[in-house]
Structure 1
Amino acid sequence: MASVLGLLEAREKKVREEIARLREEAERVQAALGEAERSLDRLVNARVTVAEVLAGSSSAVVEPARGSAAGSPVPHRTEGMAASVLAPDYRRIVSVLESEAGRDGLRCQQLASALGFEAVPAKVEGLRSKAKHLVERGWALQVRPGVFTALTASAG
């Protein structure tokens, strides 16, 4: 019996080491994801600014887009603003939340599945971050902790 217990303890130790390694890798991936999202935010802002400058008059002063926020691909929602102003990833999330499936609210794992992603922690946490960003900017609601729905779902 002692050898079986020893084997189990050795296996447990290996699994704990693997978990620790995977946690470190997940933290590294989360950091890389955060940096990539910040890079995307900067690129989106640059593109919007260049488009405004090219579309604007020859005036030296260019006002920022109404409702936009520095460093964000998600502008604050104002009356009559369409989801088409959002970056493609955010438009897809809003579309799913506005669908019949999202009417009563979706957990991020369900949202990942609805978007065709594997519901792995990295994808789920990325979606959670985006969904919370949509809530902060007035595009979605968090009906319960971790459960999101479209802003229009509460109006009915």
Structure 2
Amino acid sequence: MTEGSRWRRCLGMLEEREAAARVRVEGLREEDARLAEVLEAAEIELDRGVIAREELVEALAASAAESTAVTEAEAERETAASAVPLPRGWLLAEASGAFSAGRRSGAVPDAGSSG
């Protein structure tokens, strides 16, 4: 084997390695582009999940605040209804807002007085 053929053989091997490296680089670039699309889709899905969770937390907070306001308003109505003064104590205001027959102490009419 001559020295020139050795160099040609060495040069051929280097060219084969270079061609293989180019093919590998091209394949990796294609895979990189595909993975970029997959990553973008995953990021969109993550953003949607975060938004959905935040909206749910806001809705639950608003619902809890509304429920608390309604409960407080009902409690105020019940308190106001039970605090209504009744003539002579013959009717009693119940916590439910209904009235019942009964007597309060000190409100019994004087049966023995003439007037």
**Larger % of helix: which?**
2
Structure with larger RCO (C-alpha < 8 A, sep 6+)? 1
Q: Which has the larger Rg?
A: 2
**TM-score (structure 2 length as normaliser):** 0.49
